[in-house]
Amino acid sequence: MRSPEYVKELVTHHVGGLLKIAPEHTEEGTLSKMMKPGIGAYDEFKEMFDRFSVEAGKKQYLIPYFIAAHPGTTDQDMLNLALWLKKNDFKLDQVQTFMPTPMAMATTMYHTRKNPLHKVTADSEVVETARSGKIRRTHKAFLRYQDPANWPILREALVNMGRSDLIGNGDKHLIPAWTSSESGGLAAGERSRQTSGAGTPDKFKAPVGKSRVALGGTAAAPKVTAVESKVRPSILSTIKTRAKPVAAPPAGKRGAGAVASAGRGGRK
């Protein structure tokens, strides 16, 4: 990727406007665990990419890919990456947190906290690994420092790291200290909970849609409207409840029966 001829051919004839590239990180400690070059290689490639795009008369852009919580990554590494992203005006949308998968070198580092790229001994290098959910969320939040949903966890992390100087509303700060949207949303939520029957048990609250009873008055009984059930009966129940037709007797028998009834009535 450092060959100008190769990059020129790629940019001129094989890029359709966007090119994804994976520098993965900015810190040497993390990149060494990935067997990747430093961030300088990305800067060098980007310079050639932009230059050859202009020469070709094409507007093209790089989409860099970064990862959070990779083995060998510390909180300070993620902070440095976030500062680099802001300096270069990158606002990432889709990011990934490292997930150990079988047959991967990084998975070995994750489970053993050792670096198999070098000789492993009892006192060999210990690989820092983000395991707890909170640390992994914090590392991912650094990648998306521009997202208001990540500001609370980043404020806590920066204070714990002794970098509260990066919290503020100026250009030199990473995240704002306070925003009207955060405060307004919280206040609105609190007001909503406080004004919706505060201090009144649910069973004593007036039902929705009914007016409150005036002091000293009574409430009219609610009008009950019968709702016709539209549940269709099953075929089996229809068969069971259907009246069986009675076959009419033959004419001769019907006459004899009538005579017998008349005779019984006469004797009575």
Q: Which DSSP string do the residues of 96-116 spell out, in sequence order? A: EE----TT-HHHHHHHH-B-T
CA atoms within 13 A on the CB side of 46: 14
Given this model, what pLDDT does residue 248 score?
62
For residues 185 and 191, give the distance between their C-alpha atoms in angstroms, rounded to a whole number: 10
Residue 36 has pLDDT above 60, yes or no: yes
For residues 138 and 144, give the distance between their C-alpha atoms in angstroms, rounded to a whole number: 10
Mean pLDDT of 43-64: 96
- Cα–Cα distance list, 41 to 25, 36, 102, 181 (Å): 12, 9, 29, 40
Structure tokens at 169: 């509303």
Can you tell me whether residue 175 is helix, strand or coil? strand
Q: How confident is the model at residue 2 (pLDDT cuts 50, 70, 90)?
A: confident
Mean pLDDT of 205-221: 47
Per residue in 103-155, pLDDT (tens digit) is: 999 999 999 999 999 999 989 999 989 999 999 999 999 999 999 999 999 99
Can you tell me whether residue 18 is helix, strand or coil? strand
Average pLDDT score over the chain: 79
Q: What is the dihedral sign for C-alpha 74, 84, 95, 107?
A: negative
Output DSSP code: residue 202.
G
Answer with the residue of higher pLDDT: 67 or 264.
Answer: 67
Given this model, what pLDDT does residue 92 score?
92
117 contact partners, CB below 8 Å, separation of at least 6: 32, 33, 35, 105
Given this model, what pLDDT does residue 186 score?
46
Residue 240 has pLDDT above 70, yes or no: no
Q: How confident is the model at residue 65 (pLDDT cuts 50, 70, 90)?
A: very high
Q: How confident is the model at residue 48 (pLDDT cuts 50, 70, 90)?
A: very high
pTM: 0.66
Mean pLDDT of 6-21: 95
223 backbone dihedrals φ, ψ, rounded to 5°: -75, 130
